[in-house]
């Protein structure tokens, strides 16, 4: 999940007797801390300017109820957190006790993680929506805990729809293209934003391949070069060739498309939960609405993405302390406040109920049952994802979709 906001890291803080550390070089501590079953190291990324303050408050409140347990927090930017983990593991053989990143499969298949059932109460597991449990599991065992979700849904400019004489949002690709042509004909605006630049081409691509009934995995193997995926990529190329997108979509990144939509320069985009708060901040007068992502047949499906919390078992002595902390975090009052503050979608049923009136939940909760996910439980997905980012934009510059999918499949193999 690419983060739209990057938080500035603050200095070391001491809150209610609980040590909270923020380090530019990542997690770490003394050997006594590492061997102490009641001292937990926690490495997390910054989702926004407020992420650190949220974790500080959560950990401080947890400490009041559990004064015998210390949670030492280190934070990194999303640009560096994976490198920090990799470097510490390779050079020192160390990992944090609790880690918040996107991919967990390599750690799980290497035998480094606790099963999720050992680090939260059973009530937490049963509260997580089933699709996210499946995405956090390998061979029937759940190894990670989804933190929160991001899905995509169609954002459309209602003023431009009115001017173009469009009465309702499109449900199919044919309707999407027809509506985009009408908006493009108004002049000075683009019909549809198609971000196929290297920032996150796999996101836009997945919306189209899923919309054709495609998958990136058959459960065991990465499956890129398939007829359904090809149909989705061909449809994506067709709307680019129709001249109803922004200029040069093959080199345009998602953030650029979102900003152009917020400025009223694009009629339709696939947006994500933080898009709502970005509009409220940058152009609160924008008239827009949301609708299910158009697909080949009109049957709704969308892309779902979840970051994860995972716990490293090491010598196995810290499971009780980890379980107390993570079970506290996933309690409805604590977890729902964190999710709302970061403007994402809750993955527990109790938090969804608590946030029923939240703007993000209102716009996106209905997308969760029809969301498909990246195969993040497959260690080869990383290579495929990187190849999609580098290759997919070329379809808008003349490349053959079948050849592009073949290249990506080779990279994943």
pLDDT of 77 over the 90 cut: no
Confidence band, pLDDT 50/70/90 cuts, at residue 413: confident
Strands 137-138 and 302-311: unpaired
Question: Is the CA virtual torsion 218, 220, 224, 226 positive or negative?
Answer: negative
pLDDT of 1 over the 60 cut: no
Mean pLDDT of the chain: 89
Q: What's the pLDDT score for residue 85?
A: 87
Q: What's the pLDDT score for residue 245?
A: 98
Check: CB of residue 77 under 8 Å from CB of residue 36: no
Q: What's the pLDDT score for residue 83?
A: 83
Mean pLDDT lowest among 15-19, 139-143, 340-344, 408-412: 15-19
Confidence band, pLDDT 50/70/90 cuts, at residue 78: confident
Q: What's the pLDDT score for residue 27?
A: 55
Q: What's the pLDDT score for residue 91?
A: 76
Residues 6+ apart with CB under 8 A from 257: 193, 194, 195, 246, 266, 269
Check: CB of residue 232 under 8 Å from CB of residue 392: no
Q: Check residues 354 and 14 and name the one with the higher pLDDT.
A: 354
CB-based burial label for 344 (10 Å; 0-12, 13-18, 19+):
buried
Q: What's the pLDDT score for residue 406?
A: 98
Strands 98-101 and 302-311: antiparallel
Confidence band, pLDDT 50/70/90 cuts, at residue 183: very high
Q: Check residues 3 and 237 and name the one with the higher pLDDT.
A: 237
Give Cα 42 to chain centroid, integer Å. 20
What is the pLDDT averaged over residues 196-224? 94
pLDDT of 20 over the 60 cut: no
Mean pLDDT lowest among 126-135, 157-166, 223-232: 126-135
What is the pLDDT averaged over residues 361-370? 85
303 beta partners: 372
**Cα–Cα distances in angstroms (integers) from residue 12 to residues 23, 185, 352, in the given order:** 8, 55, 33
What is the pLDDT averaged over residues 310-336? 97
SS (H, E, C) 245-270: ECCCHHHCCHHHHHHHHHCCCEEEEE
Q: What are phi and psi of 49, to 5 degrees?
A: -65, -20
Residues of the chain above pLDDT 90, percent: 72
Q: What's the pLDDT score for residue 6?
A: 28
CB-based burial label for 92 (10 Å; 0-12, 13-18, 19+):
exposed
Q: What's the pLDDT score for residue 346?
A: 92
Give residue-wise pLDDT tens across range 258-309: 999 999 999 999 999 989 999 999 999 999 999 999 999 999 999 998 899 9
Query: Which of 103-112, 124-133, 208-217 is the most confident on average?
Result: 208-217
- Rounded to two decimals, the pTM is 0.77
CB-based burial label for 113 (10 Å; 0-12, 13-18, 19+):
buried
pLDDT of 148 over the 80 cut: yes
Q: Check residues 320 and 385 and name the one with the higher pLDDT.
A: 320
Mean pLDDT lowest among 89-98, 186-195, 226-235, 339-348: 89-98
């Amino acid at each position: 999940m690419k983060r739209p906001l990057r938080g500035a890291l603050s200095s070391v803080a001491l809150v209610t007797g609980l040590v909270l550390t923020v380090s530019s070089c990542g997690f770490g501590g003394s050997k006594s801390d590492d061997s102490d079953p009641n001292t937990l190291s926690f490495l997390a990324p910054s989702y926004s300017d407020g992420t650190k303050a949220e974790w500080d408050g959560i950990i401080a409140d947890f400490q009041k109820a559990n004064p015998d347990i210390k949670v030492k927090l280190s934070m990194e930017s999303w640009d560096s957190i994976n490198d920090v983990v990799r470097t510490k593991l390779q050079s020192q053989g160390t990992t944090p006790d609790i880690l918040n990143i996107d991919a967990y499969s390599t750690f799980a298949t290497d035998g480094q993680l606790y099963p999720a059932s050992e680090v939260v109460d059973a009530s937490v597991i049963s509260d997580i929506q089933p699709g996210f449990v499946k995405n956090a599991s390998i061979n029937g065992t759940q190894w990670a805990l989804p933190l929160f979700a991001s899905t995509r849904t169609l954002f459309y400019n209602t003023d431009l729809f009115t001017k173009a004489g469009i009465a309702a949002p499109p449900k199919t690709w044919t309707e999407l293209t027809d509506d985009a042509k009408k908006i493009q004909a108004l002049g000075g605006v683009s019909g549809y934003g198609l971000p196929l630049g290297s920032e996150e081409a796999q996101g836009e691509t997945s919306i189209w391949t899923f919309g054709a009934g495609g998958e990136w995995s058959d459960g065991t193997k990465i499956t890129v070069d398939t007829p359904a995926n090809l149909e989705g990529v061909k449809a994506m190329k067709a709307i680019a060739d129709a001249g109803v997108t922004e200029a040069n979509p093959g080199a345009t990144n998602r953030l650029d498309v979102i900003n152009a939509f917020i400025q009223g320069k694009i009629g339709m985009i696939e947006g994500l939960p933080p898009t709502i708060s970005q509009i409220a901040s940058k152009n609160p007068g924008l008239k827009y609405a949301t609708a299910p992502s158009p697909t080949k047949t009109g049957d709704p499906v969308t892309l779902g993405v979840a970051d994860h919390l995972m716990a490293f078992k090491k010598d196995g002595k810290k499971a009780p302390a980890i379980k107390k902390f993570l079970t506290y975090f996933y309690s409805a009052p604590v977890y729902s406040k964190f999710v709302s503050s970061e403007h994402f979608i809750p993955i527990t049923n109790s938090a969804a109920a608590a946030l029923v009136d939240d703007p993000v939940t209102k716009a996106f909760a209905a997308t969760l049952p029809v969301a498909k996910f990246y195969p993040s439980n497959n260690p080869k997905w990383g290579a495929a994802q990187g190849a999609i980012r580098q290759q997919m934009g070329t379809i808008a510059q003349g490349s053959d979709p079948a050849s592009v999918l073949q290249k990506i499949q080779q990279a994943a193999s």
